[in-house]
């Protein structure tokens, strides 16, 4: 199977999981937006405030769907990036996911990278030479962290990502964080840029292209119709 076919397969897998999301599952007997509208209209706490309106329902129920979409798109980008790395560099996905035991605050945690890349694991000479130009002097390889977007401002999460970068540097792996979107929260991006070689938006796509020779952004743009068909299935719920 060529890489483009495999990526389309992975995209379908993740988007269809979103399509199976039931925004009304927490409300017994509610199967549609109209059902939920009636439920709110009969709720003694909310009915007096005129909340039985479509905009309220869309915001409340749709918010859960948006959270699900963002979470699964994050999983999707991690999955397809690992597939590209594994296929183009000839490194197994098991080797890419390298784990470290860290003490964050006073709590021990096991954290894993999304893409550990060591030169001696790359068999193809031309590929190894290309990757070697991207590894800083003094490092033995790269450790990639993949994000579709950094939208969590939680201090513990940010500290964990910072500590992960420091731990990777201690074992001579250069930490690279790829954030594919350009709409992340600014505070964590600014802080983590001090510890990670952080690439954001087009720079993240450019980095993967340079590292692997595969143009992910071009692939996604060429498959917009394929993706749109699956996104329509998701938004038909409303």
Sign of CA dihedral 179, 232, 214, 6: positive
pLDDT at 188: 93
pLDDT of res. 112 = 85
Backbone phi, psi, residue 169, to 5°: -65, -35
Which of 76, 228, 232, 100 lies closest to 164 in space, CA to CA? Answer: 100
Q: Is there a contact between 147 and 73 (Cβ–Cβ < 8 Å)?
A: no
Q: Are 155 and 191 in contact (CB under 8 A)?
A: no
Sequence-ordered strand ranges (E) for 1-65: none
Long-range CB pairs of 224-233 (<8 Å, 24+ gap) are 226/8, 226/11, 227/11, 227/15, 230/11, 230/12, 230/15, 230/16, 230/19, 231/15, 233/15, 233/16, 233/19
Give the model's pLDDT for residue 6.
96
pLDDT at residue 237 in the model? 61
Query: From CA 216, how far away is CA 119, in angstroms rounded?
Result: 22
How far is the C-alpha of 80 from the C-alpha of 75, rounded, in Å? Answer: 9
CB 178 within 8 A of CB 145: yes
Say if residues 208 and 185 touch (Cβ distance below 8 Å): no
d(CA 166, CA 195): 7
d(CA 107, CA 89): 35
Question: Mean pLDDT per 10-residue run, the chain (238 residues)?
Answer: 92 91 84 89 91 87 82 95 96 88 74 90 94 94 95 84 92 96 94 97 98 97 95 78
pLDDT at 104: 65
Pairing relation of β-strands 173-179 and 141-147?
Answer: parallel
Q: What is the pTM of this model?
A: 0.88
Name the CA radius of gyration of the chain, rounded: 21
Q: How far apart are CA 2 and CA 137, in angstroms?
A: 34
CA separation (Å) from 214 to 81, 114, 134? 10, 18, 15
Q: Report pLDDT for 151.
A: 86
pLDDT at position 118 is 94
Q: Are 98 and 112 in contact (CB under 8 A)?
A: yes
- In angstroms, the CA 174 to CA 60 distance is 42
């Amino acid at each position: 199977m060529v890489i483009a076919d495999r990526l389309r397969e992975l995209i379908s897998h993740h988007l269809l999981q979103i399509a199976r999301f039931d925004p009304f599952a927490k409300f017994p007997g509610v199967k549609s937006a109209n059902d939920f509208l009636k439920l709110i209209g009969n709720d003694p706490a909310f009915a007096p405030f005129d909340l039985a309106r479509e905009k309220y329902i869309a915001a409340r129920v749709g918010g859960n769907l948006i959270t699900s979409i963002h979470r699964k798109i994050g999983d999707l980008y991690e999955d397809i990036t690992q597939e590209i790395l594994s296929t183009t560099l000839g490194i197994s996905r098991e080797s890419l996911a390298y784990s470290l035991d860290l003490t964050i605050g006073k709590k021990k945690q096991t954290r894993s990278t999304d893409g550990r890349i060591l030169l001696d694991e790359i068999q193809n000479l031309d590929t190894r030479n290309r990757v070697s130009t991207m590894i800083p002097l003094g490092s033995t390889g790269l450790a990639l962290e993949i994000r579709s977007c950094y939208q969590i401002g939680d201090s513990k999460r940010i500290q964990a990502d910072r500590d992960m970068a420091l731990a990777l540097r201690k074992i001579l792996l250069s930490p690279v964080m790829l954030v594919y979107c350009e709409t992340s929260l600014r505070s964590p991006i600014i802080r983590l840029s001090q510890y990670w070689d952080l690439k954001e938006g087009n720079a993240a796509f450019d980095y993967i292209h340079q590292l692997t020779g595969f143009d992910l952004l071009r692939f996604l743009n060429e498959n917009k119709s394929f993706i749109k068909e699956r996104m329509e299935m998701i938004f038909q719920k409303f």
